[in-house]
Amino acid sequence: MNITIYHNPQCGTSRNTLALIRNTGIEPDIIEYLKTPPSKEKLQALITAMAIPVRDLIRQKGTPYLELGLDNDALSDDALITAMLAHPLLINRPIVVTPLGVKLCRPSEAVLDILPLPQLKEFTKEDGEKVIDAEGRRV
């Protein structure tokens, strides 16, 4: 089963998403996108597959979003993508690719909508929120 996660190990949401994928028994391909950013073509393909506006993939918190003037609504999609490639921290995460779809998984349990296998056991997020019960069902 081929699943890919564009992951930032410093991000709790990304860590929880990765753990939910692993809770199906699948070990995904992990791309630490801050170390290995996607190409322009790959980023565009991910955005298209997610069927979201480019602006919805830009992370504002803890990034140079305002300093770069990315809050300017007149900027083109190409300009926004160029900024994300120049500053990968601007790419919101985690992005997960499965045979069932591509999704920006915020909150982390959004990944459950595109996982091809069920959860194997109980799962509680890092913050203590229970997401999966002992029978492997979404809470």
The catalytic residue among 5, 6, 7, 11 is: 11
By C-alpha distance, which of 28, 9, 8, 11 is closest to 20? 28
Active site residue 11: yes
By C-alpha distance, which of 91, 94, 86, 90 is closest to 110? 94
Q: pTM higher than 0.85 for the full model?
A: yes
- Give the chain's radius of gyration (CA, Å): 16
Per-residue pLDDT of the chain (139 residues; tens, 9 = 90+): 799 999 999 999 999 999 999 999 999 999 999 999 999 999 999 999 999 999 999 999 999 999 999 999 999 999 999 999 999 999 999 999 999 999 999 999 999 999 999 999 999 999 999 999 999 999 9
Q: Point out which residues pair with 97 in neighbouring strands.
A: 4, 102
By C-alpha distance, which of 105, 62, 109, 111 is closest to 87? 62
